[in-house]
Amino acid sequence: MSKIKIMNETLANKIAAGEVVEKCASIVKELCENSIDAESTKIIVNLLEGGIKLIEVIDNGYGMNSEDALLAFSRHATSKLYKDDDLFFIDTLGFRGEALPSIASVSKTVLKTCDGTVGTKIVFEGGSLITNELADSRVGTSITITNLFYNTPARLKYLKSEQSELANCVSYIERLALAYPGISFTLNNDEHLVVKTSGSNDLLKTIHEIYGLNISSKMIKVENSNDDFDLYGYICKPEILKSNRNHMITIVNDRVVKNQELNRTINDAYYTYKPDIKYPIVVLKINTDPTLIDVNIHPTKQDIKIGKIEVLRGLIIETLKDALYQNLLIPNAMLRVPFVSKEKNEVIENIVKEEEQAYNEEKSEMAVQTTINFKEDSEEVVVENPAMKDLVLYPVGLAHGTYIIAENEEGVYLIDQHAAQERVNYERNMAALKAKKWAVAPLLIPITIELSASEMVKIKKEEAYLKSLGFDMEEFGLNTYVIKGHPTWLRKDYEEESIHKIFDLITNGLTSIDPVKFNESVAITLACKMSIKANMHISMEAMEELLKELCNCDNPYNCPHGRPTIIKFSNYDLERMFKRVMN
């Protein structure tokens, strides 16, 4: 008797459910994607206890007739793929035909649908058909899921708490709303409204509806394209960062994906604009030919493979860096928007704009500063970097030996003198390292560096690279190097300390040197050591010179570690704090 047998369809569906239906959010995802594929413009998701007790998805899509409604619960039944070649031109969210039968096999599922003729009601429980009857129904589809995992207790046991399941559902609906700003999404939990978007087809408005005014008002629009990819979306200013990557939302051909390469690329574009442990809020839509992506590599279809990924990486980094460079990124010290519900944000946004407009109208018009020079005989610093616009700063003092106080017609600024000079020194070092034409300064008294045996092996391996950086060095006895000359960009009087730091970067490394990353590490490390410290009082002339150099930087807003160099108190904020304006 044969030992190999074809399993029955119910068992096959339960096995598929183990891959497709991981948690409540998985069901919400699959059902909402079906609603989107049905060209819905309004999708309502109702949950009880975060989806553990009940998940209901209601849409106004084109619905199904009775025959299609029943067939939809058959495994691999789909309206989206008909022949092999269709797999290379997928333009829908669903295509495998596994979701509905998988969900129905581990729950009680009630489907009501109508395509404009006669409504249909179908009930499945544990994969078995219970009811198939005609019913009154509006055009569209509603699916209700209860008793989730009742027949797979091992899976039921590992459902998380109500709040965790709800958080996963909310996170997915928010991402889906950002991918489809033209669709109105509503999410209710225990009859309480949690998420609501208008379906205005305005991405920035959708960001505002999801994240609120404080974030939406600090987003920068990005748009670019090449022969293979089109980019569009919004990225945040570095002042509103998050502690995890969950808010880097990438949407490829209208599909929300979690792709490590894309997340890494976005993070790289913010290099030195933020600390390494913080991550930006980004909503980036990428459109490309369907043949350049493969969405059929993961059971949940949340990851994809992208052809010409290096081309896309280059486009993303160029686009994001250019957007950051072209915008004024000085953060406002005052957060004037109180914590309110999202429904009130639009009203508050208008109030804030009206207040500032009324305030500005009371002030005399200021002449626009167009000169781009530093006036050496005055305290006036005129910004040369285009991203700093027409900003003019007048240093007036130093607070706590650490923060330069400057002012102009728009308000008062605080500049962290260490972070500012660190940025200046970092960009100077990077420019020197990129130039690759270093003058070598001979040392009157050579510097001797003693190493351990293991350190000696690593330094010897990279000796040629160090010499290419401008170090005149040679072995001198056992586990010892003697440095007879160094590149001229090393800070005067800190040559020996700088050389030790560079050697430490090599000996602490575990693999061979990557020249690009190593040069950045050198530039950052030496910039920190070359900079004035906190609690060090400097003269007014030194402040003027530092502001001049900072304003000429490519990124004057952050030190190379990502900390801010400058913040602003606007005149409106100051007068409001001192009750000189009362609105």
Q: pLDDT for 417-449, tens place per residue?
A: 999 999 999 998 888 888 777 788 999 899 999
Pairing status of strand 381-382 against strand 293-294: unpaired
Angle of helix 495-507 versus helix 515-530 axis, rounded to 10: 140
- 377 Cβ neighbours under 8 A, 6+ residues apart: none
User: pTM (2 decimals)?
Assistant: 0.75
Nearest Cα residue to 391 out of 330, 323, 331: 330
- Give the 3-state secondary structure of residue 479: coil
Report the alpha-carbon distance of residue 346 to residue 508 in Å, rounded. 52
- Comparing 9 with 135, the larger pLDDT belongs to 135
314, pLDDT greater than 50 = yes
Long-range contacts of 466-472 (CB under 8 A, 24+ apart): 466/502, 466/506, 468/436, 469/433, 469/438, 470/438, 470/439, 470/440, 471/499, 472/440, 472/442
Report the alpha-carbon distance of residue 559 to residue 555 in Å, rounded. 8
Phi/psi for 40 (5° steps) reads -70, 150
Two tokens at 228? 């293979």
Segment 64-91 shows an average pLDDT of: 65
Two tokens at 169? 């559902």
Phi/psi for 253 (5° steps) reads 50, 45
What pLDDT shows up at residue 87?
46
Q: State the CB neighbour count (10 A cutoff) for residue 7.
A: 10
Report the alpha-carbon distance of residue 76 to residue 58 in Å, rounded. 23
How deeply is 35 buried, as exposed, middle or buried, from its count of CB atoms within 10 A (0-12, 13-18, 19+)?
Answer: buried
Least confidently predicted of 162-171, 390-399, 466-475: 390-399
What pLDDT shows up at residue 299?
58
Two tokens at 58? 């209601």
| CATH architecture observed for domain 9-196 | 2-Layer Sandwich (3.30)
- Give the 3-state secondary structure of residue 263: helix
90, pLDDT greater than 60 = no
Two tokens at 311? 């081309």
Report domain extents, the chain: 9-196, 218-326
Return the ∠ at Cα 17 (arms to 13 and 23), rounded to 5°: 160
460, pLDDT greater than 60 = yes
What pLDDT shows up at residue 489?
81
Amino acid found at 407: E
Report the alpha-carbon distance of residue 299 to residue 277 in Å, rounded. 30
Segment 513-539 shows an average pLDDT of: 84
Return the ∠ at Cα 205 (arms to 232 and 273), rounded to 5°: 55
What pLDDT shows up at residue 150?
83
Return the ∠ at Cα 83 (arms to 81 and 88), rounded to 5°: 70
What pLDDT shows up at residue 493?
81
What pLDDT shows up at residue 149?
86
Two tokens at 328? 């004024």
Report the alpha-carbon distance of residue 244 to residue 267 in Å, rounded. 11
Nearest Cα residue to 109 out of 155, 152, 142, 154: 142
Nearest Cα residue to 428 out of 526, 497, 532: 526
Segment 216-237 shows an average pLDDT of: 94
What pLDDT shows up at residue 375?
35
- 408 Cβ neighbours under 8 A, 6+ residues apart: 391, 392, 393, 394
Summarised one tens digit per residue, pLDDT across range 316-354 is 999 999 999 888 888 887 654 444 444 444 444 454 455
Rg (CA), the chain: 30
Pairing status of strand 42-48 against strand 184-189: parallel
Two tokens at 537? 């009082």
Angle of helix 24-37 versus helix 162-179 axis, rounded to 10: 20
Which helix (H) or strand (E) segment is 194 a member of? strand 192-196
Cβ atoms of residues 93 and 33 within 8 Å: yes
Cβ atoms of residues 330 and 557 within 8 Å: yes
Split at pLDDT 50, 70, 90, the class of 416 is very high
Split at pLDDT 50, 70, 90, the class of 4 is low
What pLDDT shows up at residue 372?
27
What pLDDT shows up at residue 541?
92
Assigned CATH class of 218-326? alpha beta
Summarised one tens digit per residue, pLDDT across range 348-386 is 445 445 545 554 554 443 333 322 233 334 344 444 445
What pLDDT shows up at residue 82?
45
Instruction: Provide, rounded to the nearest whole percent, the portion of the chain with pLDDT above 90.
Output: 41
510, pLDDT greater than 60 = no
Summarised one tens digit per residue, pLDDT across range 241-258 is 998 899 999 999 999 998
The alpha carbon of residue 209 and the mean position of all alpha carbons in its chain are separated, in whole angstroms, by 18
Report the alpha-carbon distance of residue 526 to residue 502 in Å, rounded. 8
Mean pLDDT of the chain: 82
Report the alpha-carbon distance of residue 47 to residue 169 in Å, rounded. 9
Cβ atoms of residues 77 and 67 within 8 Å: no
What pLDDT shows up at residue 330?
85
Split at pLDDT 50, 70, 90, the class of 307 is confident
Segment 52-57 shows an average pLDDT of: 95
What pLDDT shows up at residue 412?
93
453, pLDDT greater than 60 = yes
Two tokens at 205? 């408005």
Report the alpha-carbon distance of residue 89 to residue 84 in Å, rounded. 10
Two tokens at 206? 């959708």
Cβ atoms of residues 256 and 176 within 8 Å: yes
Split at pLDDT 50, 70, 90, the class of 9 is low
Pick left, alpha or beta for residue 49 (phi over 0 → left; psi -120 to 50 → alpha; otherwise beta).
Answer: left
Which helix (H) or strand (E) segment is 573 a member of? helix 571-577
Q: State the CB neighbour count (10 A cutoff) for residue 264.
A: 13
Q: State the CB neighbour count (10 A cutoff) for residue 454.
A: 9
